Chains A and B, each alone.
Chain A
């Protein structure tokens, strides 16, 4: 996975030798929301599910924060951000609860909730607008340490580590992987499968909310339709990032890096003067190649 990123970066620099701190900054800003969405999707996919409401939840977090932070001070905006993250956890809990109690497939439940959140976002903010204090935006757009380390990357690492590390290193992380790998064996080992799946969606909801906040920081406004791109792109990043769609295999690093790679593609296309609409074609091809490559490697390993 890291090789892919280095390769993509190398290609980018080769194409555009002027690639400098500013371009790194753009990369960071562009990749941040996607990387967080990918993190959200990764947690859920690892537990054996899928979440189709990520984009809509991001939109709600985006418009909610943009609308409420518009005339707030920096301190207030931080408090509001924390509340939004909490709200994301609650939304995720809703996904998880409905899923576990009704036994309806996760695709259906999360898709339906996605539609609901999309509507809620439009109700909160009909047109793009709102804002946030300069200092809050700077958390993502600034360069606190050095021009070569944009805040966006720092924020990404902090956010992922702050949420994922407590999960991964405790029993919840182990049960998450277990449930994703083999639900029956996990059940027989005494794991509360339903509770684990529930928490997977709660964590996913938190990441989605942080992703929505990232949208606020990177765009400076709230836009109710901002999330549509992210749901499936997050899934693409998860697959490219080496997380098995069947669950139980993979980590957080892969999808995050994959998100950066995916963000580089349209940039490279622009540098190459290729129609950026080819971006989707290339994304799709990349998914096929990576998944096929993985499958081929597995096949070769099985044949002694």
Chain B
């Protein structure tokens, strides 16, 4: 049996951004006439690799060959000319122009584009509409139709089914299969393992900037993919020991500290229901873009939900502004601490910030009381304040501690932590985990979203998994091993697990 020719051969590709190594040695080989998935967890280097394939970034090392010829793309236009056309998550359409004008920009044939749109059932779209007036699914499909009209040898689909309803997703798959039948190839990027199994011939898995394997998803390949994404480093086992506490509801009669019912917001958060008891740490596990950002934004008062209710201690809440949430004792520790801090101000000022709202009169701040509370918080969190007159000079870990210290000083009931240990060294991470356990022991309730799944059994009492904007799994910490969380996060859930 002759093998189909290699359309794309990316070999030993590396890329670093300063000190951060995004890709160490990645490779991707796509044959003609196949649908090839590219998979990897957050931070594995997937999006960096895609940017290099599509000409948005040059590689530091490695060779990318198209149809046997090594190429170096300096712009998306060059990649396009070589036969590799991409459809991004954000449609490459200019909002203030009409569809017709957008098509003119890339020299796309409007008639052919309309024909492809017909395959999706959108043939009747009015091309004189402005792009800014159209909903996201339509834009995705226009982008896809335009890509197909360019007759690419390799079509790259980046999370195309996110924010697409199921029936449209099915049509996209049908078209992808059509494209394959014509002898071309499709690179399919998705978190949804079920889709990958249904559609793709092979899958390349990236982890920590390296290609760790190429698998056939059908015939049980799913498990292989999951274990490849997890990795089997022996050191990890020690990290996986759960904290050993079991949550005991000390006030069984009282209403939950935080209760969310049927919450819906934007395109990503569809229907989420859960509750957090006082003194409990509830973990949220999810891949990128599954609705967790919207969930936390709604809880923190940054966004208004489209439907559903949020209640604290039995009282339904209307959060229109972060100040509303803070008043109810719901406070946020965001992933990017520089969003929460005043960069150029001192540690003291940052910690004291919410205390200002306690002022009754214009005029002098009650300095003595402020100092005492701030000192207490600094000591408790062991923040190294020597270095800083400005918080931006602190290390990331210490900055995060300042954020938490601020809420400790101001007092709170529920702490929302959105990926608090992202990009923080291991020592400070441990300190933050310990702190979270202590705060919970003191009666606070904590909702913790983390992109690092091993953290969940370490810090949490219970965990829910978000996928496609819904809670697909709920489990006690003792059962929350990485494999189960990862499978649920990819949408692979055994029936009958969701109870909430």
Interface residues of A (CB under 8 A from B): 171, 174-175, 177-178, 180-182, 184-192, 248-249
A182–B77 contact, CB under 8 A?
Answer: no
Chain B residues near A186 (CB-CB < 8 A):
94, 105
Bound CA span A184–B88, Å? 11
Q: Residue B218 at the A interface, CB < 8 A?
A: no
- 1/0 per residue, CB under 8 A from A, across B80-116: the answer is 1000000010111111110001101110000000000
A189–B106 contact, CB under 8 A?
Answer: yes
B96–A189 contact, CB under 8 A?
Answer: no
Chain B residues near A189 (CB-CB < 8 A):
76, 92-94, 102, 105-106
Bound CA span A175–B77, Å? 14
Select which of A175, A188, A249 is within 8 A of B76 by beta carbon: A188
8 closest cross-chain pairs (CB), A and B: A188-B92, A190-B77, A181-B96, A248-B96, A178-B94, A181-B94, A189-B105, A185-B92
Chain B residues near A248 (CB-CB < 8 A):
94-97
Whether A174 touches B101, Cβ cut-off 8 Å, given contacts A181-B94, A185-B93, A189-B106, is yes
Chain B residues near A190 (CB-CB < 8 A):
75-77, 80, 105-106
Bound CA span A181–B95, Å? 6
A191–B105 contact, CB under 8 A?
Answer: yes
Interface centre among A180, A187, A188, A191 (most CB of B within 10 A): A188
Give the interface SS of chain B, mostly helix, strand, loop or mixed: loop
Task: Write the nearest CB–CB distance from A203 to chain B, whole angstroms.
Answer: 19
Bound CA span A249–B97, Å? 9
A182–B95 contact, CB under 8 A?
Answer: yes
B90–A184 contact, CB under 8 A?
Answer: yes
A174–B105 contact, CB under 8 A?
Answer: yes
Chain A residues near B106 (CB-CB < 8 A):
189-190
- 1/0 per residue, CB under 8 A from A, across B219-258: the answer is 0000000000000000000000000000000000000000
Task: Write the nearest CB–CB distance from B136 to chain A, whole angstroms.
Answer: 14
Show 8 A/B contacts (Cβ-Cβ < 8 Å), sorted by A: A175-B105, A181-B96, A181-B97, A182-B95, A184-B90, A185-B95, A189-B76, A190-B76
Which residues of chain B in 408-444 are interfacial with respect to chain A, using CB atoms and an 8 Å cutoff?
A: none
Bound CA span A274–B76, Å? 59
Select which of A178, A180, A249 is within 8 A of B105 by beta carbon: A178
- 1/0 per residue, CB under 8 A from A, across B177-198: the answer is 0000000000000000000000
Task: Write the nearest CB–CB distance from B339 to chain A, whole angstroms.
Answer: 21
Interface centre among B80, B90, B91, B93 (most CB of A within 10 A): B93
Task: Write the nearest CB–CB distance from B129 to chain A, whole angstroms.
Answer: 14
Which residues of chain B in 5-26 are interfacial with respect to chain A, using CB atoms and an 8 Å cutoff?
A: none
Task: Write the nearest CB–CB distance from B262 to chain A, whole angstroms.
Answer: 22
Nearest chain A residue, comparing its CB with the CB of B79: A190
What bracket does the count of chain B residues touching chain A fall in?
A: 10 to 19
Bound CA span A188–B75, Å? 8
Nearest chain B residue, comparing its CB with the CB of A178: B94
Chain B residues near A249 (CB-CB < 8 A):
96
Interface centre among B88, B92, B94 (most CB of A within 10 A): B94
Task: Write the nearest CB–CB distance from B306 to chain A, whole angstroms.
Answer: 13
Bound CA span A190–B255, Å? 56
Chain A residues near B75 (CB-CB < 8 A):
187, 190, 192
Nearest chain A residue, comparing its CB with the CB of B132: A181
Bound CA span A191–B75, Å? 9
Chain A residues near B76 (CB-CB < 8 A):
187-190
Bound CA span A87–B77, Å? 33
Task: Write the nearest CB–CB distance from A175 to chain B, whole angstroms.
Answer: 7
Chain B residues near A185 (CB-CB < 8 A):
90-95
Task: Write the nearest CB–CB distance from A243 to chain B, whole angstroms.
Answer: 11
Task: Write the nearest CB–CB distance from A197 to chain B, whole angstroms.
Answer: 15
Whether A174 touches B92, Cβ cut-off 8 Å, given contacts A189-B102, A189-B105, is no
B94–A177 contact, CB under 8 A?
Answer: yes
Chain B residues near A177 (CB-CB < 8 A):
94, 96-97, 101
Nearest chain A residue, comparing its CB with the CB of B80: A190
Chain B residues near A180 (CB-CB < 8 A):
96
Bound CA span A175–B90, Å? 19
Task: Write the nearest CB–CB distance from A77 to chain B, whole angstroms.
Answer: 41
Bound CA span A184–B91, Å? 10
Whether A174 touches B97, Cβ cut-off 8 Å, given contacts A185-B91, A186-B105, A189-B106, is yes
Chain A residues near B102 (CB-CB < 8 A):
178, 189
Task: Write the nearest CB–CB distance from A294 to chain B, whole angstroms.
Answer: 14
Task: Write the nearest CB–CB distance from A14 to chain B, whole angstroms.
Answer: 38
Bound CA span A186–B105, Å? 8
Task: Write the nearest CB–CB distance from B465 to chain A, whole angstroms.
Answer: 32
19 other A-B residue contacts (CB within 8 Å) besides A174-B104, A187-B76, A192-B75 = A174-B97, A174-B101, A175-B105, A178-B101, A178-B105, A180-B96, A181-B97, A182-B93, A185-B92, A185-B94, A186-B105, A187-B75, A188-B88, A189-B93, A190-B77, A190-B105, A190-B106, A191-B105, A248-B96
Task: Write the nearest CB–CB distance from B260 to chain A, whole angstroms.
Answer: 26
Task: Write the nearest CB–CB distance from B95 to chain A, whole angstroms.
Answer: 5
Task: Write the nearest CB–CB distance from B97 to chain A, whole angstroms.
Answer: 6
Nearest chain B residue, comparing its CB with the CB of A191: B105
Task: Write the nearest CB–CB distance from A285 to chain B, whole angstroms.
Answer: 28
Task: Write the nearest CB–CB distance from B68 to chain A, whole angstroms.
Answer: 24
Nearest chain B residue, comparing its CB with the CB of A249: B96
Bound CA span A82–B88, Å? 47
- 1/0 per residue, CB under 8 A from A, across B51-92: the answer is 000001000000000000000000111001000000010111
Task: Write the nearest CB–CB distance from A187 to chain B, whole angstroms.
Answer: 7
Chain B residues near A192 (CB-CB < 8 A):
75
Bound CA span A171–B92, Å? 18
Bound CA span A177–B92, Å? 14
Bound CA span A174–B96, Å? 11
Chain B residues near A184 (CB-CB < 8 A):
90, 92
Bound CA span A187–B76, Å? 8
B94–A182 contact, CB under 8 A?
Answer: yes
Nearest chain A residue, comparing its CB with the CB of B92: A188
Nearest chain B residue, comparing its CB with the CB of A188: B92
Nearest chain A residue, comparing its CB with the CB of B103: A189
Chain A residues near B97 (CB-CB < 8 A):
174, 177-178, 181, 248
Chain B residues near A187 (CB-CB < 8 A):
75-76
Task: Write the nearest CB–CB distance from B41 to chain A, whole angstroms.
Answer: 25
Nearest chain A residue, comparing its CB with the CB of B102: A189
Task: Write the nearest CB–CB distance from A245 to chain B, whole angstroms.
Answer: 13
Bound CA span A188–B92, Å? 6
Chain A residues near B80 (CB-CB < 8 A):
190
Bound CA span A236–B102, Å? 30
Chain B residues near A171 (CB-CB < 8 A):
104
Bound CA span A182–B101, Å? 14
Bound CA span A171–B104, Å? 9
Nearest chain B residue, comparing its CB with the CB of A179: B94
Task: Write the nearest CB–CB distance from A128 to chain B, whole angstroms.
Answer: 43
